[in-house]
Structure 1
C-alpha cells in the first residue's frame, strides 16, 4: 500500500514538473531526438502562445529543413531573421533552405549576413567558398531559363543598363589567340565593372551561355550570334571588336 502511494506521489510530481516545461522546450527536445513530426506542433503552439516567437519560428524552420521541406523551412526562417534580427543560426539555415529551393539571390544575401554574424574565420572562409558555388548554380539557372525562354519566345525583359563585353576577335599570329582573347575580355569587363551605372555580365556567365548553346570558336564571333548572345543575356548593349596586327608589324 505504501509502495502504491509512493508511486502516485512520484507520478503527480512528474506531472507537475512536466507542466513547467514550455512548448518551445518540448519542441527543442524532440528536434534534438530527430522526432520532427512530434516537434512541429510544439513549435506551432509556442508561436501561437506568443512566447519566444522568433526562436520558435527558427526551430520550426530548421525542423522543416531537416524534413527536406525547404519552402516551408524558408517561410519560417524569414520570420526569424526579419527586421534585421541578428540570429546566425537562423541566417545559416535560411541560406541553405533558399539554396536548396533554387532562390539563389536571396540565398546569397543570407550567406553574407551569416558571415557578418559569425566570428569564426574558418567558417567564414567555408561560407565564402559556398557563395562561389551558389553563384555558379545561379548562372546555370539563368542560362537554362534564357535558352528555354528563347525556344518559347519569352527570353525575359532587356535591361537598359546591362552590357555584354563579348570576346574580341584576334587575328592569327598570337601564340595562343584563345587565351589572349579571354584575357583581354576579362580586362575589359573589369574596367567596365568599375562604372556604377552599368551592369556588366561576368565572363563566367557569358562562357556558360556559349557552352549551353554549343557555339564553336568561329561561330562565337559571328555577328548574328553576337546579337543572339546579347538578347539571351537580356543586355541592351554588346561590345565586340577585332584586334589586328598593324601594317608595320607592331
Structure 2
C-alpha cells in the first residue's frame, strides 16, 4: 500500500501545482503567445521568487530581447550561460543581443563554439548565425575603412599583400559574364596556397564593394584600383579581363596596381583553347607570382596546379552560384551549386559552397520559426499538452525534482549531477519529442 499512497500523494502534488500556475509558467505561456510585456513582468517575478531557476533567468533574457532591451538582455543571458552552458536557446539569443549592441566580436566568438551545444537544431542555427555575424563584421570594417580613409598609411601594409578584383568580360557573349567572379575566386584560391603572400578573401572585398556602391558586379576601373587596395590594406591589386576569340579560343589579360605608388603595370596575356580554360588560369597565376618576386616551394606549386574541375559547364554553374550568393539570392545559389555538383560530382569547391548555402537556407527558416524552443516534429495532441503541463508545473513547484530516465541519478537542487547522469529537465521543459513527449516519457520523481 505504501507505494500506492506515495504515488497518490505525488499525483496530488501535480494537480495542486497545475491548479496554481507559477509566475514562470505564466511567463512561458506569455512568451509562447508573443505577449512579451506580460512575459517580462511574470518572469521578473519568477526570478525574484527563485533566482536558482536557470530557465527562468534564460527566458527573462529572451523576453528582454523581444522587448528590444538588448543590453539588459545580454547581461541576463550571460548569467543564464553560466548555469546552462550547453543550452542552444541561450547562446542563440545572447549572440543576437551582442549583435544588436555592436559586440560583433563577442557574437562571433560565441557562435564559433556551436559544437558545444547539445541540440543539433540549435547547432545548425548557431552556425548559420555565425555566417551572418561575419558578414556584418566585414561590412562594419568596410564602413570604418571608408570613414578613416584619409588616415590610412599604405606603408604599414604587409609587403607581400594582394587583392584580386573581379575580372571583366570584354567579349560579346554574355553567357560568360559569371566567369568574372568565378575566375577571380579561382585565382584567389590558388594564390592563397602561397604562404609568403597575404591574399584578401572574396567576402571581404564584396563587403567593401557594397559599401562603396559598386553594386554586385564589383567592377573597378584602373584609376580606382589603388584606392580599393588602400581600403583593403594591401600593397597590390590584381585586375584582369577575359575575351572569347574566334575558333573557340580565350585570352586572359591582367595587370597589377600598386596601392602605394598608385601606378599600374601589365603582367602579360595568356591565351589558348577555351577547353583549356583552367590551364590558362594556372599560367596567369604563375605570372602573377613571378611578378611579385616570390619563389614557390614544391608543395605550393603542386597545390596551385590542382584543378578543381575540368568541366567548363560545371564551373559556369559554380560562377552563377557565386553571383547569386553575393546578391543574397540563396535559393538560386543553392540551385546553381547543385547543378555544378551534378555535372561534376568531384567538384569539391562547388560541394563546399552547396553545403554552406544549404545550411544557411535551412537555418534561416529555422531562425524565423524557432523563437522559444526547438522546433517540434509535429503539433502536440491534447494528451501530450496535458503531460507537458504536468511536467512544467511539477518542476516549477519544486525545482529540486528531477525528471530522468530510470536508473539515472536525480539532479540536485542546484543542478549538480553525478558523472553518469544526464540532466533531462530542460529538454522536457521544452517539449522535445526526441525525449518522449509524444506519450512514452518515463517519469521517475525523486527528492534529493
| Counterpart for residue 166 of structure 1 | 164
| Counterpart for residue 107 of structure 1 | 107
Q: Pick from 34, 39, 47 the counterpart of residue 43 of structure 1.
A: 47
| Counterpart for residue 147 of structure 2 | 148
TM-aligned CA deviation for residue 69 of structure 1: 0.9
TM-score if structure 1 supplies the norm length? 0.63
Unaligned runs of at least 5 residues, structure 2: 1-15, 31-37, 241-251, 255-267, 273-448
- The whole-number CA distance in structure 1 between the counterparts of 2:208 and 2:269 is 35
TM-aligned CA deviation for residue 70 of structure 1: 1.3
Deviations 1:140-164 (CA, angstroms, capped at 9, x unpaired) = 33333332333xx456996649944
TM-aligned CA deviation for residue 125 of structure 1: 4.1
- The whole-number CA distance in structure 1 between the counterparts of 2:194 and 2:81 is 33
SS at match of 1:244: strand
Unaligned runs of at least 5 residues, structure 1: 1-16
Q: 1:178–1:27: structure 2 CA closer, same or farther, 3 Å change rule?
A: same
Whether 1:244 aligns to 2:243 is no
Could you tell me whether the CA contact under 8 Å between 1:43 and 1:59 is conserved in 2? no
Q: Aligned ranges for residues 113-132 of structure 1 at < 5 Å?
A: 113-114=113-114, 116-120=116-120, 124-132=123-131
- The whole-number CA distance in structure 2 between the counterparts of 1:35 and 1:107 is 25
TM-aligned CA deviation for residue 64 of structure 1: 1.6
Could you tell me whether the CA contact under 8 Å between 2:74 and 2:94 is conserved in 1? yes
Q: 1:248–1:182: structure 2 CA closer, same or farther, 3 Å change rule?
A: closer
TM-aligned CA deviation for residue 232 of structure 1: 1.9
TM-aligned CA deviation for residue 210 of structure 1: 2.3
Q: 1:193–1:110: structure 2 CA closer, same or farther, 3 Å change rule?
A: farther
- The whole-number CA distance in structure 1 between the counterparts of 2:178 and 2:235 is 24
| Counterpart for residue 203 of structure 1 | 202
| Counterpart for residue 191 of structure 1 | 190
TM-aligned CA deviation for residue 26 of structure 1: 5.3
Could you tell me whether the CA contact under 8 Å between 1:27 and 1:42 is conserved in 2? yes
Whether 1:28 aligns to 2:24 is yes
Of the structure 1 ranges 212-221 and 28-37, higher mean CA displacement relative to structure 2 is found in 212-221
Could you tell me whether the CA contact under 8 Å between 1:166 and 1:226 is conserved in 2? no
TM-aligned CA deviation for residue 249 of structure 1: 5.8
| Counterpart for residue 437 of structure 2 | none
TM-aligned CA deviation for residue 27 of structure 1: 5.2
Of the structure 1 ranges 137-146 and 125-134, higher mean CA displacement relative to structure 2 is found in 125-134
Higher helix share: 1
TM-aligned CA deviation for residue 88 of structure 1: 2.3
